[in-house]
Structure formats: structure tokens, C-alpha cells
Amino acid sequence: DAGVIQSPRHEVTEMGQEVTLRCKPISGHNSLFWYRQTMMRGLELLIYFNNNVPIDDSGMPEDRFSAKMPNASFSTLKIQPSEPRDSAVYFCASSTGSGTGGVTDTQYFGPGTRLTVL
């Protein structure tokens, strides 16, 4: 079975440009999570969706960040305008996420997108 798919794997852009990261969750998973990982701050949850609806976006750093999930098999994380401090690895993860605990809470991570903003 295909795991979580992310694209692009690497993105290099200049400050001020718009960046769009893409994610396809595991088929049948109804929860999707966007994380950012840096050496200084570790793995930070940005936003998560359940059944395509954003549930908690309190981790989104500022209005320059936005995320959408138009259907069960696709999500985007957009940064506009990008800044050098946005440079990080962005991970998408998915789970069956019924919220009742146990195995359904297990999150499976995609390979990540390494973003460099010059």
C-alpha cells in the first residue's frame, strides 16, 4: 500500500515568493496533520483536519500560512509570502483518527518537504 505522499521533496525559493506544499494521505485515513520540524523547535504541529474539516489550527505561526483539504485525498499548505525563517522540513501525517484512542491514533508520516527560503 502507498504511504503518505508529499510533493515536492525539496523546494528552494526566494523570500517573498509563494510556496505550496502538497500531501496525499493514506487511503481510508480521515485525519491529516501538518508538522514543521527544525533543529531549534523540534516537531511542531501546525494544523490538523478530520474528515476534511480543520479542527485545530492554533499551531499555524501567522496569517502567511494557510492550509486546505478540498477532499479526502489531498491537502495543501501554502506560505505567502515566504520568509527565511520558514526554512524547515514540513511533514504531513495521516491516521484513521477516530479519536477514541488506541491504534486509531497512530500517525503515519510522509517523507517530508525540505523548504529553503533564501
Q: Which is nearer to other proteins, 81 or 114 (CB)?
A: 114
Given the rule CB under 8 A, which residues bind other proteins?
Answer: 31, 33, 42-43, 45, 48, 50, 55-56, 91, 97, 99, 101-103, 105-112
Give the nearest distance from C-beta 37 to other proteins in angstroms.
9
Find, among 82, 99, 96, the residue nearest to 13 by Cα.
Answer: 82
- Taking the CB of residue 100, how many other CB atoms lie within 10 A of it? 8
Q: Which is nearer to other proteins, 49 or 82 (CB)?
A: 49
- Taking the CB of residue 101, how many other CB atoms lie within 10 A of it? 7
User: Left (φ > 0), alpha (ψ -120 to 50) or beta: where does 101 sit?
Assistant: left
Q: Which is nearer to other proteins, 41 or 70 (CB)?
A: 41
